Amino acid sequence: MKPSGRRCIRAVTDVAKARHYISMDMKLSKFLFVLLAAVPSLSGAEFSIQTVDGLDRPIPGVQVEVSCLSPDRKKAPLRFKSDENGLVHGTYDAALCTPQSASVAKPGYQSYFSGFRSRYVLRKQFDQQEVLRVVELNGADLERELGELLVGISTGELNQFTDTVFYYEARLRSALRNLARDPYVTERARDLLSLIAAPEDLQLVTQLAPPSSASNPGFPDRWRYKVATALVGPDSEDEWSFLRRCALNEFNDRWVDAGAIQTLKLTASPRSQKILEEAQQQNQFRARSIASALEYIKSNPPILLDADLKALAERTAEAMKIGTWQGNGKTRLNQAGDKALVDFTFQTSEDRLGYTATFHKLDGAWTLRGAHETYQAFVMTVH
């Protein structure tokens, strides 16, 4: 055989050997990849997620999809299902991606999407028929089932649940006062008691210890807003002190101080004027709204009291003076007919604002108890 022929055979043999070794290397690589994937401690980072309801009870069967973001901004979905203890255990390759967000879903619960974290709270859905069933209960059964509703979410029309609670307030207030002491539902119970605005209930709320900051870590004192806006015409030293501290922005929350300033303005008394003058010196951020409130008080406005509820609601909306008043909604009464809710709509240069005011009837005359913001929508006006 010629030398050139031997070289060709040797070359073919070398190529075959190379292909064999490459094939072996690829198989080994695949084996190592599978092995590493099966042993997270060698290749991946671990995480755990807990899914619970509003009473901190584990929820099994929750579909959890984690979005893992790569350095080149590509997303890889990691899908899991919570076990009987409401837990999800997963792994990911930290060199390839980082968990950024997650969605949680289960039939009968409100699904949502948010940032990646170790704990997700799902709110159980309920309809109006369930609310009416709970209203008919008594004692401990009523308190327990009402608490379940407070940590859930209504599938009914906007404000249907709160309007129903307001209508049946005489049956529900005792349970709500007890629930205001329950750490899991205290904020929701305080909100509803503030909407009803019975003086004895507000006195209780202002004396209760603040809720745990864990319930609203970003705004731990935001609950004070609805309480402050329900204290028009304070009935006790505790209520005056509550309003003063809010107006001076002791809680570093701009919703809270704005709500207290509005209430002190609508109260329009010498004492509310004095607190506003103090706030004017210490809360410079609200200088403009405080000046407007003081101007209103010094104009000696008529007291917000009237036998005609429609007329009183219109005067109240005009007194609040937030941009342009667009009109009032339909009045909703409680079962006894001595408490009422009325919605106000205002338009500013950029926003449409909705407020709900609470009125009480005493000795044949209606009086304002409070008004709080219920919605805000961006609406650019065209001139």
258 and 322 part of one domain = no
- Boundary (domain end) residue, out of 74, 98, 121: 121
CATH number at residue 70: 2.60.40.10
Rounded to the nearest angstrom, the gap between the alpha carbon of residue 227 and the centroid of all alpha carbons in its chain is 16
Name the average pLDDT for the chain: 89
Q: Quickly state the pLDDT bin for 21 (edges 50, 70, 90).
A: very low
Q: Quickly state the pLDDT bin for 355 (edges 50, 70, 90).
A: very high
pTM of the full structure: 0.85
Q: What is the pLDDT of residue 2?
A: 44
CA angle 302, 324, 281 (to 5 degrees): 65
Q: What is the pLDDT of residue 216?
A: 77
Spatial CA neighbour of 90 closest among 48, 44, 35: 48
354 and 289 part of one domain = no
195 and 225 part of one domain = no
Q: What is the mean pLDDT of residues 310-332?
A: 96
Q: What is the pLDDT of residue 255?
A: 97
143 and 195 part of one domain = yes
144 and 161 part of one domain = yes
Q: What is the pLDDT of residue 170?
A: 98
Tokens found for residue 217: 């870590």
32 and 83 part of one domain = no
Q: What is the pLDDT of residue 43?
A: 52
Q: What is the pLDDT of residue 32?
A: 31
Tokens found for residue 243: 């309003």
How many domains in the chain? Answer: 5
50 and 109 part of one domain = yes
In the predicted structure, residue 80 carries a pLDDT above the cut 90: yes
Spatial CA neighbour of 317 closest among 256, 262, 279: 262
Instruction: Report d(CA 162, CA 192) in Å as an integer.
Output: 7
Residue 357 belongs to domain spanning = 305-383
Per-residue pLDDT tens for 228-276? 999 999 999 999 999 999 999 999 999 999 999 999 999 999 999 999 9
291 and 318 part of one domain = no
Per-residue pLDDT tens for 260-269? 999 999 999 9
In the predicted structure, residue 175 carries a pLDDT above the cut 60: yes
Q: What is the mean pLDDT of residues 185-201?
A: 97
242 and 291 part of one domain = yes
Per-residue pLDDT tens for 286-315? 999 999 999 999 999 999 999 999 999 999
Burial class (CB in 10 A: 0-12, 13-18, 19+), 161: buried
Backbone φ and ψ of 272, nearest 5°: -65, -35
**Cβ neighbours for 85, distance < 8 A, ≥ 6 positions apart:** 58, 60
170 and 190 part of one domain = yes
Q: Quickly state the pLDDT bin for 36 (edges 50, 70, 90).
A: very low
Q: What is the pLDDT of residue 380?
A: 64
Residue with tokens 């209504």: 154
231 and 267 part of one domain = yes
In the predicted structure, residue 213 carries a pLDDT above the cut 90: no
339 and 359 part of one domain = yes
In the predicted structure, residue 340 carries a pLDDT above the cut 70: yes
